[in-house]
């Protein structure tokens, strides 16, 4: 009975589906079930002897390799149904990699002696030994050990390339007694965001010992412009010391991590093997560029997948990458965009699968996504929020045809999305709800009702529907909708007043003397809700500004960029809101990653005592920005907000 | 008396062995009812563990002829019908291979005292093996987590095997018999073994009978 359960599981996956019944029985009879809680080292490169082939029954592991300079390079992740450990077994049981569980993980362990028997099956052994991912891995492994940069694997580049290969920039530097103005001019000339201060005459500094400090745009802004340092003073009076360095042999993602951890944008790259000789500078921008390719790799696979089942699988693989990106310090804004990009690809495939199954649509349609998905701000898989707009039918017969077709169509797509792991929306904001699957003219009248006779519940609705983004089909339908409703919305003082009330209703938890106001009882005593009291009020405020100025973008950062271009708010206010958003997002993700590492369910409740003092100070600043923004909104919409109450 | 003592000594695993090194036989029985005097065993399922590792090939399963009628309720619970049991061994002969399978290993079961009582009734002697009740340990660990680690107090602790399995995210197989339940219990014990050392249960000697 138990053997049956084991062999039934194995049979579902390659290469175990290539085994004969007798071989499968042998595997099942000798197998062991072992459990590794999240973050357990299953074996360690070079230090462990491995005795088994591991097949993951449930969970996920990360495989890393140590490179010559002692850093860990991520090679691969494996999840349900996948195998690891064959190379180490073949290497006389000396572990070639380090394998760590990154979720609670159950594995079937197949002992070495059984594996030796199974390898006599030619299909089975060929899977492992020829043209398999393992072979590719073995090659990559050697390359990493030799520290050679991989030119083609751009998706893994950040995990495999050494920082020294990224140094492009000529060092821009000046002497400590250079005046602030001269240094700033040099920065402008060279188009750089920072300048190195070094004691070195007359030639350019060669060694880290000669470096005294660094001055960045932020220093110029904070110390010269804001505080009023005289521009004739020596640059050394405003430089930051010491300059953070990184060994050229370290990996790109370690550099990124270091920058994010110490909130800096550039690192001095030195050659540790040659007495810290200077190699150059590397900036966050250089590193982000490296990463931009990875979603493309995934989307290539998504485009190849033919069935919903295949899509679900690829998506699942892609999703496992997300917490890792967060953990390894990728900017939360880009995480959201990567997720949106992948989800959009999946949706595009699902729409075309549904069209193939049901035949061509009777009228053009546009599939839209709403809420956080519309804003491209989700990180983990969240509820579906979507709708369908179709062109107005010309007669009753066509109307009936369209209702029938799009009802079935929406049902298909929603079911497939569920199959891909997107839960149904509890509020029923989905295209299967007849209210959210309508011809354009009906959509228009729904919006008109919201705008003209706003009820509080309608305004709640409206916020997610004003974060509506094109996701597939005929984009001109959404364009037509927005072109009509955005100008109407901004002209309706009552509606804008309602939006403003919503945006100021949750204030940041900041007391009179700028102390944090915490929950005084309940399960979150001594904590505050970062999402409700921080991220959402700011998101709501920025949406309001965007609608007020006819901006169509839905992503909050893009809305800010467009507001900047429209020149309708002071630049400083936009900078502040942008910094605040990024800081809050980073803090929230960091908190949630820590929680999931501890095996807790991620939430938004933060205890300020668990923050570092820098984080606390910054958070106070961030809350102050939100409070100022809310005060600004109250001023602007005072007349209308009163009327609404 | 001396012989019994001797047997008992032999049956004990090394007291200083880590709980993660010891050998366990996780088992479950299905019964005609819960009356210790009048009811008896209709099936036994068992699976061996070495520390946290469940040895999937080392299983034991037997049906037993209870020599009495099964009530309707009973059949509904374990889906064993009387005709299946007619040609099965009687309890005394079924127990021999089971005891052989168990050897000196620690016996583990969910509410194990019920199964042990039934076994000992049939054997007419005490079993020398050390015994572990997963229900009791689960309850104890959960209490400790709440008291010392600030785990949320979510009301009374549910010790029903299937509910625990659900809570620990252990896959429930479709079928349900003594062996499958033993396998499920083994997976619960596998999880508990990870947490026990944190609460001072490091070695076999620390496990209570």
> What are the pLDDT digits (tens) for B109-164?
999 999 999 999 888 899 999 999 999 999 999 988 888 887 888 888 888 999 99
Co-location of A479 and A497 in the same domain: no
pLDDT for the residue A294: 45
Mutation pick from A12, A28, A33, A522 vs chain B, by most beta carbons of B within 10 Å, is A33
Strand order, beta sheet including A437-439: A437-439, A386-390, A365-369, A469-473
- Find chain A residues with C-beta within 8 A of B196's C-beta: none
- Is B209 a residue whose pLDDT tops 70? no
- Is A355 a residue whose pLDDT tops 70? yes
| Facing B179 at nearest CB: one of A2, A32, A35 | A2
Domain boundary among A460, A484, A508: A484
Residues 6 or more apart in contact with residue B192 via CB below 8 angstroms: B134, B137, B138, B141
Q: A304 lies in a domain? A: no
Q: Is pLDDT larger for residue A80 or for residue A21?
A: A21
Co-location of A274 and A402 in the same domain: no
> What are the pLDDT digits (tens) for A506-534?
888 876 555 677 777 778 878 888 888 89
Residue A264 · residue A244 · CB < 8 Å: yes
Residue A175 · residue A197 · CB < 8 Å: yes
Interface contact A2-B180, CB threshold 8 A: yes
Co-location of A468 and A535 in the same domain: no
Interface contact A3-B190, CB threshold 8 A: no
Q: How far is CA A605 from the centre of its chain?
A: 20
Q: A245 lies in a domain? A: yes
pLDDT for the residue A436: 93
Q: Is pLDDT larger for residue A592 or for residue A506?
A: A506
- Find chain B residues with C-beta within 8 A of A34's C-beta: 52-54, 190
Question: Quick one: average pLDDT of A284-301?
Answer: 55
Q: What is the CATH number of the domain that holds A182?
A: 3.10.580.10
Q: Exposed/middle/buried for B159, CB within 10 Å: 0-12, 13-18, 19+?
A: middle
Co-location of A450 and A502 in the same domain: no
Looking at chain A, which residue has its C-alpha nearest residue B178?
A1
> What are the pLDDT digits (tens) for B61-87?
999 988 777 766 666 666 777 777 778
Q: What is the CATH number of the domain that holds A394?
A: 3.30.460.10
Q: How far, in Å, CA of A234 to CA of A181, rounded?
A: 9
Q: A565 lies in a domain? A: yes
Q: A155 lies in a domain? A: no
Co-location of A374 and A286 in the same domain: no
| Preceding amide of A21 cis, omega within 30 | no
Co-location of A640 and A522 in the same domain: yes
Phi/psi for A389 (5° steps) reads: -110, 125
Residue A596 · residue A323 · CB < 8 Å: yes
Co-location of A118 and A169 in the same domain: no
| Facing B56 at nearest CB: one of A33, A37, A523 | A33
Interface contact A33-B180, CB threshold 8 A: no
Question: Under an 8 Å CB criterion, which residues of B touch A?
Answer: 47, 52-57, 59, 61, 152, 169, 171, 173, 175, 177, 179-180, 183, 187, 190-191, 194
Q: A217 lies in a domain? A: yes
Q: A318 lies in a domain? A: no
User: Is A380 an 8 Å CB contact of chain B?
Assistant: no
Co-location of A6 and A48 in the same domain: yes
Q: What is the CATH number of the domain that holds A136?
A: 2.60.120.10
> What are the pLDDT digits (tens) for A537-588?
999 999 999 999 999 999 998 999 999 999 998 888 888 888 888 778 777 8
> What are the pLDDT digits (tens) for A468-492?
999 999 999 999 999 999 999 999 8
- A535's tokens: 């991220």
Q: Say whether pTM exceeds 0.80.
A: no
Q: A302 lies in a domain? A: no
Interface contact A34-B183, CB threshold 8 A: no
Domain boundary among A484, A512, A539: A484
pLDDT for the residue A642: 56
pLDDT for the residue A422: 84
Helix (H, G, I), strand (E, B) or coil at A76: strand
pLDDT for the residue B152: 82
User: Is A2 an 8 Å CB contact of chain B?
Assistant: yes
Q: What is the CATH number of the domain that holds A607?
A: 1.20.120
Question: At which residue do the structure tokens 């640059």 appear?
Answer: A235
ipTM of the complex: 0.87
Residue A414 · residue A431 · CB < 8 Å: yes
Q: How far, in Å, CA of B93 to CA of B98, rounded?
A: 9
> What are the pLDDT digits (tens) for A206-228?
888 888 999 988 888 888 877 78
> What are the pLDDT digits (tens) for A386-445?
999 999 999 999 999 999 999 999 999 999 999 888 888 888 889 999 999 999 999 999
Domain boundary among A465, A484, A503: A484
Total domains present in chain A? 4
* Least confident segment among A45-54, A291-300, A420-429, B136-145: A291-300
Helices A308-327 and A332-358 sit at what angle, rounded to 10 degrees?
Answer: 180
**Domain range spanning residue A42?**
2-148
Q: A635 lies in a domain? A: yes
- Is A295 a residue whose pLDDT tops 80? no
The separation between the first and the last C-alpha atoms of chain A, rounded to the nearest angstrom, is 68
User: Is A39 an 8 Å CB contact of chain B?
Assistant: no
- Structurally, what CATH architecture does the domain formed by B2-202 represent? 2-Layer Sandwich (3.30)
Co-location of A263 and A356 in the same domain: no
- In DSSP notation, A393-411 reads PSSHHHHHHHHHHHHHHHH
Q: Is pLDDT larger for residue B133 or for residue B201?
A: B133
């Amino acid at each position: 009975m138990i053997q049956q359960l084991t062999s039934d599981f194995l049979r579902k996956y390659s290469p175990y589906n290539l085994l004969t019944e007798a071989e499968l029985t042998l595997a099942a009879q000798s197998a062991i079930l072992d459990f590794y809680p999240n973050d357990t080292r299953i074996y360690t490169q070079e230090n462990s002897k491995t005795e088994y082939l591991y097949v993951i029954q449930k969970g996920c592991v990360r495989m890393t390799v140590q490179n010559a300079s002692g850093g860990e390079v991520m090679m691969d992740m494996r999840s349900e149904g996948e195998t690891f450990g064959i190379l180490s077994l073949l290497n006389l049981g000396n572990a070639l990699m380090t394998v760590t569980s990154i979720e609670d993980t159950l594995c079937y362990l197949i002992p070495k002696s059984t594996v030796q028997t199974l390898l006599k099956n030619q299909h089975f052994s060929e899977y492992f030994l020829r043209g398999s991912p393992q072979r590719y891995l073995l090659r990559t492994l050697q390359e990493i050990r030799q520290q050679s940069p991989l030119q083609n694997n751009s998706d893994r580049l950040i995990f495999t390339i050494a920082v020294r290969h990224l140094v492009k920039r000529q060092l821009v530097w000046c002497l400590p007694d250079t005046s602030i103005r001269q240094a700033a001019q040099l920065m402008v000339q060279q188009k750089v965001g920072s300048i190195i201060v070094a004691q070195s005459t007359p030639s350019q500094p060669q060694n880290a010992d000669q470096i005294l400090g660094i001055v960045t745009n932020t220093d110029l802004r904070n110390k010269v412009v804001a505080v009023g340092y005289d521009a004739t003073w020596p640059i050394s009076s405003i430089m930051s010391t010491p300059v953070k360095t990184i060994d050229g042999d370290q990996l790109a993602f370690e550099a990124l991590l270091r920058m994010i951890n110490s909130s800096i944008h550039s690192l001095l790259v030195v050659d540790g093997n040659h007495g810290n000789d200077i190699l150059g500078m590397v900036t966050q921008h250089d590193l982000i560029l490296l990463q931009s390719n990875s979603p493309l790799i995934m989307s290539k696979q998504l485009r190849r997948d033919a069935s919903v089942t295949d899509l679900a699988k690829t998506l699942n693989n892609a999703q496992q990458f997300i917490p890792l990106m967060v953990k390894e310090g990728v900017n939360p804004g880009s995480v959201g965009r990567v997720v949106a990009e992948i989800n959009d690809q999946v949706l595009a495939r699902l729409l075309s699968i549904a069209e193939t199954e049901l035949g061509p649509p009777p009228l053009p349609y546009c599939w839209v996504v709403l809420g956080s998905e519309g804003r491209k701000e989700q990180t983990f898989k969240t509820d579906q929020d979507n709708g369908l707009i179709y062109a107005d039918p010309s007669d009753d017969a066509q109307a009936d045809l369209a209702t029938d077709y799009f009802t079935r169509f929406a049902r298909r797509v929603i079911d497939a999305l569920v199959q891909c792991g997107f839960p149904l929306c509890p509020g029923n904001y989905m295209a299967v709800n007849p209210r959210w699957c309508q011809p354009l003219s009906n959509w228009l009248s729904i919006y008109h009702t919201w705008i003209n006779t706003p009820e509080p519940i309608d305004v709640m609705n409206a916020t997610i529907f004003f974060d509506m983004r094109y996701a597939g089909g005929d984009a001109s339908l959404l364009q037509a909708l927005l072109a009509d409703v955005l100008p109407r919305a901004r002209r309706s003082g009552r509606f804008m007043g309602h939006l403003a009330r919503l945006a100021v209703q949750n204030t940041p938890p900041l007391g009179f003397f700028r102390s944090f106001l915490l929950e005084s009882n309940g399960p979150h005593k001594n904590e505050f809700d970062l999402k409700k009291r921080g991220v959402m009020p700011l998101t709501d405020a920025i949406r309001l500004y965007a609608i007020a100025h006819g901006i169509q973008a839905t992503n909050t950062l893009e809305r800010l960029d467009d507001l900047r271009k429209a020149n309708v708010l002071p630049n400083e206010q936009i900078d502040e809101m942008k910094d605040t958003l990024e800081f809050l997002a980073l803090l929230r993700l960091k908190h949630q990653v820590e929680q999931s590492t501890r095996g807790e369910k991620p939430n938004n409740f933060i205890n300020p005592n668990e923050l570092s003092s820098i984080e606390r100070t910054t958070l106070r600043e961030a809350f102050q920005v939100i409070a100022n923004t809310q005060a600004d909104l109250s001023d602007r919409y005072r007349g209308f907000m009163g009327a609404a109450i | 008396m001396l012989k019994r003592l001797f047997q008992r000594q032999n049956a004990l695993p090394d007291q200083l062995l880590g709980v993660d090194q010891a050998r366990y036989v996780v088992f479950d029985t299905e019964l005609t009812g819960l009356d210790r005097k009048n009811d008896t065993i209709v099936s036994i399922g068992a699976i061996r563990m070495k520390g946290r590792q469940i040895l999937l090939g080392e299983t034991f399963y037997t049906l037993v002829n209870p020599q009495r009628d099964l009530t309707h309720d009973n059949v509904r619970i374990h889906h064993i019908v009387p005709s299946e049991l007619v040609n099965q061994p009687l309890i005394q002969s079924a127990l021999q291979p089971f005891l052989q399978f168990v050897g000196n290993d620690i016996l583990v079961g969910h509410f194990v005292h019920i199964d042990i009582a039934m076994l000992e009734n049939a054997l007419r002697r005490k079993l020398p093996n050390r015994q572990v009740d997963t229900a009791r340990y689960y309850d104890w660990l959960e209490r400790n987590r709440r008291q010392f680690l600030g785990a949320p107090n979510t009301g009374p602790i549910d010790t029903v095997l299937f509910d625990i399995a659900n809570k620990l995210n252990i896959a429930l197989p479709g079928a349900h018999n003594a062996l499958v339940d033993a396998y499920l219990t083994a997976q619960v014990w596998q999880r508990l073994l990870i947490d026990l050392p944190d609460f001072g249960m490091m070695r076999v000697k620390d496990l209570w009978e």
